[in-house]
Chains A and B, each alone.
Chain A
Amino acid sequence: AQKITQTQPGMFVQEKEAVTLDCTYDTSDQSYGLFWYKQPSSGEMIFLIYQGSYDEQNATEGRYSLNFQKARKSANLVISASQLGDSAMYFCAMREGGGGSQGNLIFGKGTKLSVKP
């Protein structure tokens, strides 16, 4: 079974509007971390936002926020006020295990976001 599921292969959004990219995860660990990365066409993976499983508040970083619903095992990324430069692949990832764990970072298949002018 997939550990990270991103059900939207591609998304379109109008410039200046908000968009939500879906991510669900599967783990039996109590302690885990969730990450979102952006990969523009240049190839570099850019870290966007992190949510720990014990964090009570949803993570926010500028225009990025993570809608963390633990019971549903979902960690959707919300991008507000989309910009043309937001067009890229977006990957959700999870790392299982406790604080000292060297667990793998497991990635989803990604969602390609295209921002229309």
Chain B
Amino acid sequence: ETGVTQTPRHLVMGMTNKKSLKCEQHLGHNAMYWYKQSAKKPLELMFVYSLEERVENNSVPSRFSPECPNSSHLFLHLHTLQPEDSALYLCASSQEASRAYEQYFGPGTRLTVT
């Protein structure tokens, strides 16, 4: 596989469930990102990892917990979510976490919290 892959593509979970989103990049990049895309709102950056270390946390609630075990994999662990957390969650990677490098996105996970 090439590029950035995300699983699952669709997820429906109750507010008391625990689930994880997975992202994998096959581009040899050093930086990975989680974004949230809600209806009619700009894309919101959630977390940035550079060389497996978290370098950015955009005031994201603790019910979202990221994990980056290596430079190719990124997880987003979810627990006790709220209905307003329903959104498209996009993973991205870039060569480095700096100004000039474009980010390559995965297809996203469409999350619905019931």
Decide if A and B are genuine partners: yes
Q: Would A98 and B90 count as touching, CB distance under 8 A?
A: no
Q: Would B99 and A101 count as touching, CB distance under 8 A?
A: yes
In the complex, which residues of chain B have a beta carbon less than 8 angstroms from the beta carbon of A91? 42-43
Among B59-67, B69-77, B78-86, B104-112, the one that faces the other chain is: B104-112
Q: Would A47 and B104 count as touching, CB distance under 8 A?
A: yes
Chain B, interface size: which category?
20 to 34
Q: Would B98 and A35 count as touching, CB distance under 8 A?
A: no
**A32 interface residue (CB < 8 Å to B):** yes
Q: How far is the CA of A47 from the CA of B4 in the complex (A)?
A: 13
Q: How far is the CA of A35 from the CA of B41 in the complex (A)?
A: 18
Given A43-B108, A46-B105: A109 and B99 interface contact (C-beta under 8 Å): no
**Besides the known contacts A96-B99, A99-B98, A105-B45, 5 further A-B residue pairs in the complex with CB atoms under 8 A apart:** A45-B105, A46-B105, A47-B103, A93-B43, A104-B56
**What are 19 A-B interface contacts by the 8 Å CB criterion?**
A32-B99, A42-B107, A43-B90, A43-B107, A45-B92, A46-B105, A50-B100, A93-B43, A97-B98, A97-B99, A99-B100, A100-B98, A102-B31, A102-B48, A103-B99, A105-B33, A105-B45, A105-B103, A109-B40
